[in-house]
Structure 1
Amino acid sequence: MRLSSNWNRRTFLGSVAALASSVVAPKRLFAFSRSSSRAISGFGHSGNPYEELGVTTVINCEGTMTMLGGSLPHPELETVMMQAGRHFVSIPELEVAAGNKIAEMLKLPEGYTALVTSGAAAAMESGLAGIHQATA
């Protein structure tokens, strides 16, 4: 990238605006890490959003069931999800990369990949679409 040294009114005013906004509201201009020690106000302040919505929580004695919210994530997964949530990415690129990583972890043969879906019904629909595409 080559920076132009040609100043005009537009570049001058743009520079002044950027400088002023960085002084007045630096957290809005630059990426920053939110402190988890800050008190939550509004929805979620109790630590149990289901209670705030009036939904009864249950003790899951059945195992992994979609009807009961699936399963609880491990703390390591929650940490990685929180880290990932701080960045913007291309979703199609993420789908390919996640599929390749899962295929690697499952030791699938070369050329195979995995697909992350939003749930069992979406997985069945994607599989069925793949079967129809292969026979067409």
Structure 2
Amino acid sequence: MLRSKDVAEMLDISISTIRYYEKIGIIPPIERNANGYRIYTNSTLNWIYLMKSLRNAGLSIESLLEFSRLSQVKGPERKKQKQVLEDQLYEIEGKIAEMQRVRNLLSYKIETYDDHIAMFQSGELTSETAEELWKIKF
């Protein structure tokens, strides 16, 4: 049987965060044994891992609560839960694209750094003749 400490280490999340998520309803109530110890099922572990991942990806507590609420809904409204995931994926893809552009810019600046410094020091390159980074497609 997994203890809370084991789950926290396994999923890289604090025990207090697990308890907080359970308390406010981001994850379903965790079953307990006769002695009051939490019983972590695969379903519970999945919920904790998913909520931690979505939170780390930028979902607000309110969005996580809505996502969890929608998991309890029957009928067509439950499909809104999928929309929450799709919206988050779209947002993450945009962030990844922006990070890739910045990565490419940094790589370019590192690769050309020595040449640019030499050109500035020789007077060959001035603040007026410097490249226009904003026009380069990275």
TM-score normalised by L of structure 2: 0.24
The higher relative CO (CA closer than 8 Å, separation ≥ 6) is in 2
Q: Name the structure where helix makes up a greater proportion of residues.
A: 2
